[in-house]
Structure 1
């Protein structure tokens, strides 16, 4: 579309980009909704605020990775990416349904991939046919992801030992573990996550690991040196789960998480792809949707 301009995002774009993001993902959720699931609804005010706060953080840390597509004064698309050491990740990306199929998404993706500058890459992808075609043509391998959902059978919870609450003092070894598991550290993302999540760690020299747990008791990001430590960390998150829970971003390289979920009484579902380029699928590892 000749009338659509693709440019770097600025702070004033954040409210409009959030409204566009809400519309894009609401349409996607309605299209992909399973029969047993409730009808998707627009974001609440609190969720919208969290989205804006998170994108403002990305904009402050790596502004050259944040792009929008604008038609007049309306934001019709967005692509938020970040460089961390040797890794590039795509935090979120979308185009309004009315302008899909007109090259806007490709222009946005080209912009953020140019910012990657040859780094290895990773992101969580939907199953949208146009988007997945674009990712594969850009050289990404698409690994199907699973998710585990349901209410934890608390009678199955094991006694887990050797874990403790973490702090910013753990970030150095956590980044070294990140480099070992996914090829690059999370850097400043660790502090951002710690500001709003509980951090649980295993500090064993030979078997370190960590998991961030949100206010609903869900594992948000998990990395470990071995599967046993990873399983213990996931069990700790499941012990904190409130009502229905979710374990997301499970690739076949991380079937240990499926085994934990099944033992806890959760059900398996399919959930898009983990797209990677220039790197293997991280394991033992459960990616975060927007911090990867």
Structure 2
């Protein structure tokens, strides 16, 4: 068994993708990025790009386990201004129970040594819950909003203007991040700008906020007040293409403002997974992104 740093190569990015596909499967048994489903090729390309992005920005936090030359496990982590984030931690089913996950997590967690705060989005897997709890994370049960947006319930936006964002807003985005979650996303914002469909920004005397949307999915949202956050979420859902299912994931109880917006627009609420945090309370108002938190 070899545990080594992830390299910024197409081969290593493909290896990460193969392990992730095998380890994470939908309830129907198909991989997350099944090529027979619309839009999954885009998701695959983005996942490959993310692996290479993190191999460049956080090489000491990204590790891959190999057995006989084949990848069997991956841990990708990043560190941003005192916050350690674990976006991906997967081990092939055939390699589980052999200590591979423990070794990978030890290497990734070592990169976060000295960070007072930690974040990750955990799957509903009981094994994952046990591992993260043993690592000192508090598991906050998460909710998911999904469904078709009821267009008849979209109201007048009111007095908070929302407009398209771009690279000129990077300082604003990082400022909101620091206030809401205690750390900026830094180099991750240019990556998300390049790979997500749309960035929405609200900047008023009463506060600021932003939201990334991609297709029907709200990818990341942060704001300095619930009122601005609700306005951004409503605008993002209004922009979901007709006929496309909307989705907002990893909402903790602190994000009732988001639950209220989603229910008001006809989305259904369910529970799935956890927002796992160490040394911090759930950021609010905030909708995390599992790939960057």
TM-score by length of structure 1 reads 0.92
Which residue of structure 2 aligns with residue 201 of structure 1?
201
Separation in 1, partners of 2:239, 2:228: 17
Separation in 1, partners of 2:216, 2:44: 21
Which residue of structure 2 aligns with residue 157 of structure 1?
154
How far off is 1:42 after superposition?
A: 5.7
**What whole-Å deviation, never above 9, does each CA across 1:108-138 have from its counterpart, x for those lacking one?**
1111110001311101001212221111111
SS at structure 1 position matched to 2:53:
helix
Does residue 290 in structure 1 map to residue 291 in structure 2?
Answer: yes
Which residue of structure 2 aligns with residue 180 of structure 1?
179
Which residue of structure 2 aligns with residue 86 of structure 1?
82
**What whole-Å deviation, never above 9, does each CA across 1:8-47 have from its counterpart, x for those lacking one?**
1122322122111111112xx2xxx2xxxx6634622443
SS at structure 2 position matched to 1:271:
strand
Separation in 2, partners of 1:20, 1:77: 6
Which residue of structure 2 aligns with residue 213 of structure 1?
213
Which residue of structure 1 aligns with residue 111 of structure 2?
115
How far off is 1:233 after superposition?
A: 0.3
- Runs of 4 or more, structure 1, over 4 Å off, are none
TM-score by length of structure 2 reads 0.91
SS at structure 2 position matched to 1:81:
strand
Separation in 1, partners of 2:156, 2:114: 45
Flag structure 2 segments of 5+ consecutive residues without an equivalent: 36-40
Is the contact made by 2:216 and 2:247 (CA closer than 8 Å) also made in structure 1?
no
Tell me the C-alpha RMSD between the 2 structures.
1.4
**What whole-Å deviation, never above 9, does each CA across 1:217-271 have from its counterpart, x for those lacking one?**
4211000011111000000111011321111111111111110110000111112
Which residue of structure 1 aligns with residue 135 of structure 2?
138
Is the contact made by 1:218 and 1:240 (CA closer than 8 Å) also made in structure 2?
no
Separation in 2, partners of 1:101, 1:130: 11
